[in-house]
Structure 1
């Protein structure tokens, strides 16, 4: 099975965008926080999805929780 550990596969910008996506941030919010264009963030996230073999934000959140990249706990969401 392919190791999908984001800590090993992603660079610093990709990791930040990955973590923010896992915590529910939108593309626009990520772009504003990182000082990048939404197009650049979209490209970053495409790279993240390819490297980690994920397709959607739910998969990103699950992977982030598994590897301790986010403190988001789905059980505590309202």
Structure 2
């Protein structure tokens, strides 16, 4: 997943206060990634990626949050 795709996903999930149980939000992420980047990923893939990002990829997650804060 490219950095720009990750940025889009994190932005949507943070705005919606995603907690892992709201299927409508993940559907919105899937549609947005397909519309903006032409990639198709399943909800399960994105859910696992989100969990991994928060738990194991601390540096990348901080970098994404900084970029999002600067853009607002």
Instruction: Give the TM-score normalised by the residue count of structure 1.
Output: 0.46
Larger helix proportion, structure 1 or 2?
A: 2
